[in-house]
Amino acid sequence: MTTITRKPEAGRLPAHARPTRGKRRSWVTIALFVLPALVLFLLLVVAPILVAVYASGFKWNGFGGLPTDFIGFDNFTRLFASDIFLTDMWHLLVLVLLCLVIQLPLALGIAMLLNQRIRGRAIYRLVFFAPYVLSEVITGVLFSLILSPTSGLANGILGLVGLESEFLANQDTALMSLFIVMTWKYFGFHMMIYLAGRQNIPNELLEAARIDGATGWEVFRHVTLPLLGPTIRISVFLSVIYTVQLFDLVWILTEGGPAHSTETLAVTMFDLGFGRSQVGYASAISVVMFALSLVFALGYQRFVMRRDMEGATTAMGDTR
Amino acid sequence: MKRTTLPLHAIAWIVGAFILIPIVYALIGGFKDTSQLSTNPFGLPSPWQTGNYTEVLAAGSFWRQMWNSTFIAVLTTVVTVSLSAMAAFVFARFAFRGRELLFTLFTAGLMFPFAVAILPIFVMLRTLGLIDNAWGVILVQSAFGLPLTIIILRGFFRSIPGEIEEAATLDGCSSFAFFWRILLPMARPAMATVSVLAIVGSWNNFMLPLVVFSDESSWTLPLGIQQFQGQYSSDTSRILAYLVLAMVPALGFYAVAERHLIGGLTAGATKG
């Protein structure tokens, strides 16, 4: 991710420490300017993650200074054998796939639509993005009322055509209902990213394709879509990283229920760590989330986004 | 190329309905009482009840949560943006050994899920006595806000031509004076963008306040909403009124700062 920003501008390195001044002086300035951020970051971001890794090797209730009861990899062997953990991983996979197959294509389609000259597109854009601004708590509480099986609005509407559902109250439909809420809140965000990416594609390219006789679909498939590649890959990346740590929405809507049917890694971790004071065991889940994000991020950058870092995104990196 | 845009409008309308119906339902539902809501879920309220809204507005807890959320959001923004601006200045305009390594360390922070750190952070805050203290939330939020803010600001600082700095130096301007008097004023649009991102992030944060605040008097709006739902679980229309009132600041802020918010998010996404 770093390199994306660095590469395009690597050519013009900024003015470095002024030659007229002593070297020592500039080191003092550098330290004074970087240290506050660095200290805060090391103390509250890096250290806690290291502590989580450390604590995952212990049986620990979170009290009494650092943990002492070292049990090696026992937390992990216990975790990997636990049904809840396997269910969490399954939910992660399902939600990521649903995002890739439904949410992101929907966002892309709407972005292409709003890129046309249709009347009122500014208003559409404003409305579609609005849910992103509302907190997950507002979204969650609102939808827990709307999706209520007995008195909710959704069944009020679906009942007219005989399609009532128990939504979040039934373990067969709960995960799908959660996904619908996620889509309500997040597709506008992805739509905005695609719109920004689309606007960086020079119209001459599309016109040239059209003059060569390409149909609308062919232009999209062979010109627009490949040029949107970097944008799409980033939006996929953000979706996955978000889903790995999905917590707020689930906690508000279902707390992981019914019967663990919407539980996620973060919910299990929260429940074990704060609900049952099994901080060591819960830390093992944190470490798994961390490892998943790290492996995914590095692998994704190495194999999927590599092309994007070789100058293809220059235009994008310089937006704004 | 005279195509009708009717099908496009139809799709946009359907998606728009999917987005708007829940919000409108909440707005109108807040004007009904709960029995009206179950007998007449779609229609307009008859009669219009303003009681739900006025009772929430008359209760001190709503305003206190609003104040707590504002206080925390403002201070988080000040801390995040000022520390990030200083660091980004150095990353953008000084050449020194280890700069890229240090910058990469910060950017790597983007990949760390916040949930991973929550347990140790809680234990740490408890040890430091920062439970039920707004600073516990402010400092942690700021720390996690640094990576994105630094990335965006560094990009902007780099785009300011080196000649300006040279001219300032020749005129006897120190590094600090250049940063304070010239760079920051020039970077106002970027500063606005990152501030908006920090405010929205803080305003909507739930997990951290959930573990840090146990005392009702320090709750932020999201905690208040969650608790309110638990307390009045059978009184749907009252919860809807609370939701709508809680949406007002967020949507109002969105209306005012839309450009910065979207600019920041797309820049963050394409840069991050």
Q: B32-43 burial by CB neighbour count: b if 16+ within 10 A, else e?
A: bbbebbeeebee
Q: How far apart are the C-alpha atoms of A203 and A194, rounded to whole Å?
A: 15
pLDDT of residue A115: 86
Residue A117, domain member (yes or no): yes
Which chain A residues are Cβ-neighbours of B110 within 8 angstroms?
1
* Selected residues 26-65 of chain B with any CB under 8 Å from a CB in chain A: 26, 37-38, 41-42
B66 part of contact set with chain A, CB < 8 Å = no
Residue B264 lies in a domain: yes
Any domain includes B124: yes
* pLDDT score recorded for residue A317: 37
Band of residue A11 on the pLDDT scale cut at 50, 70, 90 = very low
* Residue of chain A nearest B229, judged by CA positions: A141
Query: Is B78 among the domain residues?
Result: yes
Name the pLDDT band for A117 (thresholds 50, 70, 90).
Answer: confident
Q: pLDDT tens for residues A270-293?
A: 999 998 889 999 999 999 999 999
Interface of B with A in 119-178 (CB under 8 A): 119-124, 139-140, 142-144, 146-147, 150-151, 154-159, 162, 165-166, 169, 175-176
Instruction: Give yes or no for a contact between A231 and A115, defined as CB atoms under 8 angstroms apart.
Output: no
- For B44, phi then psi, to 5°, come to -75, 155
Structural domain range at position A124: 2-10+74-317
pLDDT beyond 50 at A6: no
What pLDDT score does B51 carry? 84
Among A122-131, A173-182, A225-234, B37-46, the least confident range: B37-46
pLDDT surpasses 80 at A1: no
- Tally A–B CB contacts below 8 A: 311
| Domains: count for chain B | 1
- Condensed to tens digits (0 to 9), the pLDDT of residues A36-87 reads 999 999 999 999 999 999 989 888 888 877 788 888 888 899 999 999 999 9
Nearest chain A CA: its distance from B112 CA (Å): 7
| pLDDT in the model for residue A24 | 59
CB contact under 8 A, A4 and B15: no
pLDDT score for B4: 66
Any domain includes B160: yes
B residues 75-104 lying closer than 8 A (beta carbon) to A:
79, 83-84, 86-87, 89-96, 100, 102-104
- How close A195 gets to chain B, by Cα (Å)? 9
Chain A: nearest CA to B133, how far in angstroms?
16
For residue B202, list chain A residues with Cβ-Cβ distance below 8 A. Answer: none
Whether residue A127 and residue B263 make contact (CB cut-off 8 A), yes or no, is no
pLDDT averaged over every residue in chain A:
84
pLDDT digits (tens, 9 = 90+) for A156-197: 888 888 787 888 888 888 999 999 999 999 999 999 999 988
**Domain span at B161:** 6-271
- The per-residue pLDDT for range A294-315, each reduced to its tens digit, is 999 888 888 887 766 544 333 3
Q: What is the mean pLDDT of each run of 10 residues along chain B (272 residues)?
A: 69 90 91 81 81 88 94 96 95 88 89 87 90 94 94 89 85 86 88 90 94 92 91 86 92 87 75 49
Measure B181 CA to nearest chain A CA, in Å: 16
Cβ–Cβ gap A52/B119 under 8 Å: yes
**Is pLDDT of A10 > 60?**
no
Predicted model pTM = 0.87
Residues of B in contact with A131 (CB under 8 A): 19
A39: closest chain B residue by CA: B143
- Asked if the structure places residue A278 within a domain, the reply is yes
Residue B154 included in any domain: yes
User: Which residues of B fall within a CB distance of 8 Å from A46?
Assistant: 105, 109
Asked whether A302 and A233 are in contact (CB, 8 A), the reply is no
Give yes or no for B15 touching A (CB within 8 A). yes
**A137 in a structural domain:** yes
pLDDT band for position A215 (cuts 50, 70, 90): confident
Is residue A52 in some structural domain?
no
* Domain-located, residue A81: yes
**How many structural domains comprise chain A?**
1
Q: List the structure tokens of B193.
A: 């963008």
* pLDDT confidence band for A12 (50 / 70 / 90): very low
Structural domain includes residue B1: no
- Answer yes or no: do A156 and B87 touch at CB < 8 A: no
Give tens-digit pLDDT for A105-115.
999 999 998 88
Q: Is residue A38 part of a domain?
A: no
In a domain, B218, yes or no: yes
Q: Which two tokens stand for residue A27?
A: 């080191």
pLDDT of residue B64: 94
Token pair recorded at residue A194: 């695609």
Q: Look at residue A48 in the predicted model and tell me its pLDDT.
A: 92
- Residue A269 sits in a domain whose CATH number is 1.10.3720.10
For residue A211, is it within any domain? yes
Assess if residue A34 is contained within a domain. Answer: no
